[in-house]
Structure 1
Amino acid sequence: MQENFNAKTPDREGIAYYSYGATVNPRFWSMFRQSHRIIQKLEGENDGLVSVKSAKWGTYKGTLKDVSHLDMINWTNRLRWFLWELTGNKRKYVLIQLVQFVESIRDSTNISDYSFNAIAFYLDIAGQSW
């Protein structure tokens, strides 16, 4: 994939590229259990769908621990909210929680010390001056 994709998608001059990877050890019932095992054998650590090796593009910013591919694309949170709403609960957006989460990431020396929140993660990236 890397050889094919990279050849067809060259970097453009004047644009900075940054990337993150993720790793997870899928639970027994995880939909990524089989794909994780295959990718692990071929390319090493992965999030169940993308290896850390292939996630590296431009300046590599780091590897998120215990974060699956569904977490990275925020489907885990979407599924939780869907189930929450099915039980009659109302969805509330709480900006204060996101701010506190981002601050806890910046203060943490170990990126695996927090529960991953994709929205807060991407808002933090968007707010950085690279």
Structure 2
Amino acid sequence: MKTLILASLASLVMAGACAPAYAQGTDASPGERLFQQRCGACHQLATTRNGVGPHLQGVIGRSAGSVEGFKYSPALKGSGVTWTPETLETYLTNPGAMVRGTRMTQRFNNAEERRAIIEFLGSH
């Protein structure tokens, strides 16, 4: 009986040790991994729930400052920007330079990472 309990416990421990690697998924694209690492703390993509930042479902083609229920800065709300891969490229490079007064301060200095994130956003 004790051996069976120990074997079961060992199986659970091993499954738990493997869970984080499985949860991260080896099938994730570079853009998905970067989004989760760099954007996921503030923005949702799998759901239309707003967090610290607005959800980003369907962001390509959407007017900046237009997600219902999110309190945008007056600067972004009045910017007249429509999110395209090009405008996202500029914004993610330096949000404050593109829209003075925006609340987003996260910059993405690596062009390859920006492109991967934008491509990932475009697929959702």
More strand by share: 1
TM-score by length of 1: 0.29
TM-score by length of 2: 0.30
Q: Which has the larger radius of gyration?
A: 2
